[in-house]
């Protein structure tokens, strides 16, 4: 099975071209677990499939390192956008990608040699009610700076869906030990029936946010595109930042804009192809 290794700010996945590979009989969750293993497989935060779609130009499926299927992935969307353009699946600079979290519209910006250097993605409107996240409690209530007790500590949480659930915690100082301790506890909190991603953010100034993340199904990663969008929305809702901010993630920075004109969130950032290869391990069957 051929694959391509790509990353968005260090958030790395194994990408498989479903236009070329027959995946109909493959046990995809098990393949994701095997191929994502950094010691016995290719290694990555998970596996992403690039597929045909009857609703959009392309379809993306994302499987986390634990085999669970994610709804969407901002860094993954940028990498899929780069792949389909650079590998000749489209010659357009704007197209649509179907995800479980909805259809998004990327615009690719080309660099030397006509290859994609940066991608701007319309991530759509943030979803803020408990029903949309999803989260237990009154269906139409918004959760903004809501106190939540996790083990021995109380955080103030803002819940945002960007096609997948996020619990954004504003802290005075970022500490990776806090991410390791409280991230998995909040991911599996009873309030979130589908679990949640957990973002720890520190407001640097009105145009910059510092960020660490515990990703649902993957743990600590170097970047999370939808999480950066959720962090920006949470900061704006609290009145701490402008509507156009730079989010500094461990793997690099993303520009996030929540436009008043259409209420959509726009994410701008790079995508990098690292290498291609052939996976020689056993392909698990259904």
Annotated catalytic residues are 73, 224
Residues 6+ apart with CB under 8 A from 198: 166, 167, 169, 179, 182, 183, 186, 187, 213, 214
Helix, strand, coil percent content, the chain, rounded in steps of 5: 15, 40, 40
Characterize the bridge pairing of strands 2-8 and 272-278. Answer: antiparallel
- Rounded to the nearest 10°, the torsion over CA 178, 182, 186, 190 is -160
- 235 contacts: CB under 8 Å, gap ≥ 6: 170, 201, 203, 209, 241, 245
Q: Angle at the Cα of 229 (from 227 to 233), degrees rounded to 5?
A: 115
Query: How many whole angstroms separate alpha carbon 104 and alpha carbon 36?
Result: 25
From 251, 243, 242, 172, select the one nearest 215 (Cα to Cα): 251
Q: Which long-range contacts (CB under 8 A, 24 or more apart) does 108-117 make?
A: 108/81, 108/82, 115/82, 115/86, 116/81, 116/82, 116/85, 116/86, 116/271, 117/270
């Amino acid at each position: 099975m051929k694959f391509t290794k790509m990353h968005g700010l260090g958030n790395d996945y194994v990408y498989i071209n479903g236009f070329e590979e027959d995946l109909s009989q493959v046990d995809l969750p098990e393949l994701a677990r095997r191929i994502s293993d950094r010691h016995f497989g290719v290694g990555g935060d998970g596996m992403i499939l690039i597929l045909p779609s009857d609703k959009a130009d392309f379809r993306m499926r994302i499987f986390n390192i634990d085999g669970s299927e994610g709804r969407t992935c901002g860094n993954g969307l940028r990498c899929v956008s780069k792949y389909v353009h650079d590998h000749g699946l489209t010659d357009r600079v704007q197209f649509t990608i179907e995800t479980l979290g909805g259809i998004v519209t990327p615009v690719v910006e080309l660099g030397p040699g006509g290859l994609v250097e940066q991608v701007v993605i319309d991530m759509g409107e943030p979803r803020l009610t408990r029903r949309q996240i999803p989260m237990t409690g009154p269906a139409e209530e918004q959760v903004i700076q809501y106190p939540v007790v996790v083990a021995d500590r109380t955080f103030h949480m803002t819940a945002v869906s960007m096609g997948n659930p996020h619990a954004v915690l504003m802290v005075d100082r970022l500490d990776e030990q806090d991410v390791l301790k409280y991230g998995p506890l909040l991911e599996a909190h009873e309030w979130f029936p589908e679990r949640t991603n957990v973002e720890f953010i520190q407001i640097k100034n009105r145009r910059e946010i510092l960020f660490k993340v515990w990703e649902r199904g993957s743990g600590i990663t170097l970047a999370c595109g939808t999480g950066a969008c959720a962090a920006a929305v949470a900061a704006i809702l609290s009145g701490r930042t402008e509507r156009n901010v730079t989010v500094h993630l461990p793997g690099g920075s993303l520009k996030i804009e929540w436009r008043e004109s259409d209420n959509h969130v726009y994410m701008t950032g790079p995508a990098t192809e690292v290498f291609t290869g052939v996976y020689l391990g056993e392909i698990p069957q259904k």
